[in-house]
Amino acid sequence: MSARAEPTPRLFLAGAGRSAYIVSPWYDWAFFLLPPLLALAAGALIAGTPFSDERFRLHGQKVTWAGLFIGTIIHGHLAAVLLRSHGNAAVFRRHRLRFLAAPVALFAAMMLSMWAVVCVTVLVVFWDVYHSALQTFGLGRIYDTRAGNAPALGRRLDLWLNLVLYIGPILAGATMLLHFQSFDAFEDVRAAFFTAVPALMETYHRYISWAVIAAGTSFLVYYVMAYRSMQRRGYRVSFPKVWLYASTGLCSIYAWGFNPWGQAFFIMNLFHAVQYLALVWWSEGGHLRRRLRLDALRAGKPIAAAAFLGGVLVYGAWAELAPSDDRALWSITQTVALMHFWYDGFIWSVSRKQV
């Protein structure tokens, strides 16, 4: 990968000079730009408190309020994609087969094959990391375009930066084993080769950490130098993008890498879900109001927002409390998770075509 490979003839868009923000300054700072640092602060505040440590029984399960809260948020934001995929008529018509047949086929596969259940369970863990990296990447690319830069300028640099900032701290840090423990699920199909992966990763973790640190540091130097070169040729720096990538990267390194207060999963999933819910509401809130026929009401917008959040949180609470040993219920929650990751891979490109 070389800085010279980036497209240089057209550095700017005709729309340069419009707002630097996606929605508005207050909306972007509240829901896109500040959540990583606010989630980090929230993780510090709840550490060692009854909210995060005190367990109680609910529907036969031992839970904490923190675990119940973040689990509900995680599952809820996964279901929010349905407002975009199935709730937007224009998007639904474009990919009707994917939206109807794929979930049914995946659920059927898990009900018929334990191998499918195990493979999906592991895939969800790692696709989630990749998906989270791409969400931050996508927001940053929108900010770059808002600054007046060509859409492809620096795209690969930003993609690799976000993968390094998300995946690197996991591989090199304190939460590595927590992610790879998902391979223990292969015990259910007696696949000894895969169940050995966590122990293998733990054995070589020290060497993996140093390799990731060396490669990641080298890439960060290259990234800064490449953008400095592009700036000399006319690239316009987007402050919201720089803030987003820097704050998210530092949060990822600190949370995944060191797992302070034992709250890494709470921190990283909290800000990711907040950003996603805000993104879906910005994109689809108007469609939802029209479908619910609330446009004529003065309180139509808050009513629609309450319906949106209420719906995803009800599903989130149900999914979090669903017994993991119930194969059908587990398969439903894993189907929703995979469809969330997969749909997001192409739905937002559809948005650009519509616009």
Each residue of 257-316: pLDDT tens digit?
999 889 999 999 999 999 999 999 999 999 899 889 898 888 889 999 999 999 999 999
* Contact indicator for 263, 179 with CB cutoff of 8 Å: no
Q: How far are the Cα atoms of 111, 335, 336 from residue 329, in angstroms, in the given order?
A: 10, 10, 11
Assign 236 a pLDDT band (cuts: 50, 70, 90): very high
Residue type at 93 in one-letter notation: R
Strands 61-63 and 56-58: what pairing? Answer: antiparallel
**Per-residue pLDDT at 315:** 97
Residue 354 has pLDDT above 90, yes or no: no
Instruction: Please report which confidence band the pLDDT of residue 6 belongs to, taking 50, 70 and 90 as the band edges.
Output: very low
- pLDDT for residue 9 is more than 60: no
pLDDT on residue 13 = 61
Q: 170 pLDDT band (50/70/90 cuts)?
A: very high
> 141 near 152, Cβ under 8 Å?
no
Among 175, 235, 249, smallest CA distance to 209 is for 175
Which of these, 185, 153, 179, 154, lies nearest to 166 by C-alpha position?
179
Task: Report yes or no: 261 and 47 within 8 Å, Cβ to Cβ.
Answer: yes
Contact 282, 22 (CB under 8 A): yes
Indicate the Cα dihedral angle 268, 274, 275, 278, nearest 10°: 170
